[in-house]
Structure 1
Amino acid sequence: MRPSILLAIMMAAPVSFAQFGDSPNELQRAVFEAMQSEIRTAEERARDRNRQPAQVLDFYGLERDMTVIEVLPAGGWYTKILAPILKEAGKLYVTHPAPTFYSDAFAGVTDLPGMEDVDELGWGAMGSRDGTPWIASGPWDVEPVDMVLTFRNYHNFSPDARMAINRSSFDALKPGGLYGIVDHARRHMEPDNPENVRRMDPVLVIKEAQETGFVFVDYSALLRRPDDELRYEVGRPSVTGNSDRFALLFVKPE
């Protein structure tokens, strides 16, 4: 893209390119360009400032030639950003249990322009003790990848299913591969209640990933929202779009 065209996009965009700092790196520039895609809806664009995809993906160490698995892409909010970044030199896979709301939400995404190279991996279900659709993941049929990412999904699964997903992610990664998890924050060691079912204790997430074999690398405060009291359901009008979230990064040992 010619510099003059890119500059025009930056000036017209609802999220200012200046938010990336005085010297945005190559990855941040690529994310910002992907954010301008016409396949993204107005509702998706409205969440850009809150979700900060350029900063989050930069924190995770995404590179344009990586092979990446996105777990539970749902409506494809991040898929529509990841796919253009990885299209030329990398590869994007997605995986989700089917049939579920999540697979239904994603059904039309791969038909959109630029999404034709995104491949869906079978969930590899191992069965469920309680008969719910949130069955545990089994091994994914894929050559070793560089990165596995999941955004605001970890809370959807039972402890057994979370450990199975962690194992699937661990097994799918190359040695030195990266695993990134974003989710809504819960108070440490708070028992389940009707208001916190879509929140996760980040300390528990770290513990579960480490038990799988991952090494904890870093935590980012990019998505911290101190005015979220961690008391209410994340879908409440007073919380939605402003929940306190954590971004955790793990690595599979060499």
Structure 2
Amino acid sequence: MKRLAALSIALTCLVGFSSSHANVEDKLKSAMSSDLRTQAEVERDRNRKPVETLSFFGIKDDMKVVELIPGGGWYTKLLVPLLAENGAYYGAIGTTRIENSLSDAPGFERMNVLAKNANLFREEGSRFYSLELGSLGIDDADMVLTFRNYHNFGDQGRAAMNKAAFDALKPGGIYGVVDHTARHMEPMTPSNRRRFDPVKAIKEIQDAGFVLVDYSTLHYKEDDELEYEVGARSVSGNTDRWTLKFIKPE
């Protein structure tokens, strides 16, 4: 009887997980078909694989999710509809573009914006950004995500971003980071300046207090030789990217 009870509980949990996963996938696919998205954004779906990527990070529609440096809002347009009913979306740092383009869009009235006063800047002569900010103003987020932003920062900026993510998460919260791959320990050149060494990223993010729990080969591209700048014609839209999942310890 005990074995049957345990099996029943396990099956119930499995069915619940499958149902939740299907619900997230359905909501994301619905958001992907929205008229709000441009044709250029739609064309990137095949390469960026948003459903698979967000599923890998373990997103659920009732989470509090922070997106660091959302840029033009490619992921914002998917995350806000996913979380609008049961969860909460927070865009943080460099949010001017999504505020200007999405704040008045139907269904985006629940989009929250944090760290409006964060100082994102480049020192004279530097290729990389620095970042000055206090708290994001949230400390119970379930997940913090940032996509292809890590390479844009110098040492100080990356440390500030990682600290902001750590402080915003509740214990057990997930930090998901995706970026273009550079060869391990390869000296910086004009061709790799928008790439980042994943081994170095892991060390830095672990130094911020996180624990690496998983990685994905979703965005592995065998034919990207890691030789050319990510905007070069031969690799644009087809860059090899690392996809890393960290957790804030309990």
Q: TM-score range with shorter-chain normalisation?
A: 0.7 to 0.9
Distance 2:119 2:183 in 1: 31
- 8 Å Cα contact 1:123-1:140 kept in structure 2: no
| Percent of aligned positions that are identical | 49
Residue type matched to 1:83 in 2? Answer: V
Map of 2:64 onto structure 1: 67
Assess, with a 3 A threshold, how the Cα gap between structure 1 residues 127 and 227 changes in structure 2: closer, same or farther: closer
Map of 2:8 onto structure 1: none
1:142-221 → structure 2 map (5 Å cutoff)? 142-221=138-217
1:115 partnered with 2:115: no
Offset of 1:142 from its aligned partner?
A: 1.9
Distance 1:185 1:76 in 2: 22
Residue type matched to 2:185 in 1? Answer: M
Kindly provide the CA deviation profile for residues 184-211 of structure 1, in whole angstroms up to 9, marking residues without a partner as x: 0000011110001110111111100100
Offset of 1:111 from its aligned partner?
A: 2.3
State the structure with more CA Rg.
2
Kindly provide the CA deviation profile for residues 47-104 of structure 1, in whole angstroms up to 9, marking residues without a partner as x: 001000000000000000000000111110000000000000000000124xxxx634
Offset of 1:106 from its aligned partner?
A: 5.3
Distance 1:235 1:60 in 2: 26
Map of 1:28 onto structure 2: 25
Q: Give the counterpart of 2:92 among 89, 95, 101.
A: 95
Map of 2:246 onto structure 1: 250
Distance 1:195 1:105 in 2: 29
1:37-48 → structure 2 map (5 Å cutoff)? 37-48=34-45
Residue type matched to 2:164 in 1? Answer: S
Map of 2:18 onto structure 1: none
Map of 2:76 onto structure 1: 79
Offset of 1:26 from its aligned partner?
A: 2.8
- 8 Å Cα contact 1:136-1:160 kept in structure 2: no
Count of paired positions: 227
- 8 Å Cα contact 2:139-2:167 kept in structure 1: no
- 8 Å Cα contact 1:194-1:233 kept in structure 2: yes
Unaligned ranges ≥5, structure 1: 1-23
TM-score, normalised to structure 2's length? 0.85
Distance 1:142 1:127 in 2: 19
- 8 Å Cα contact 1:75-1:109 kept in structure 2: no
TM-score, normalised to structure 1's length? 0.84
Q: Give the counterpart of 1:235 among 225, 231, 235.
A: 231
Residue type matched to 1:221 in 2? Answer: T
Two-structure CA RMSD over aligned residues (Å): 1.9
Distance 2:155 2:25 in 1: 34
Residue type matched to 1:142 in 2? Answer: I
- 8 Å Cα contact 2:131-2:161 kept in structure 1: no
Q: Which runs of 4+ in 1 moved over 4 A?
A: 126-129
Map of 2:53 onto structure 1: 56
Offset of 1:143 from its aligned partner?
A: 4.1
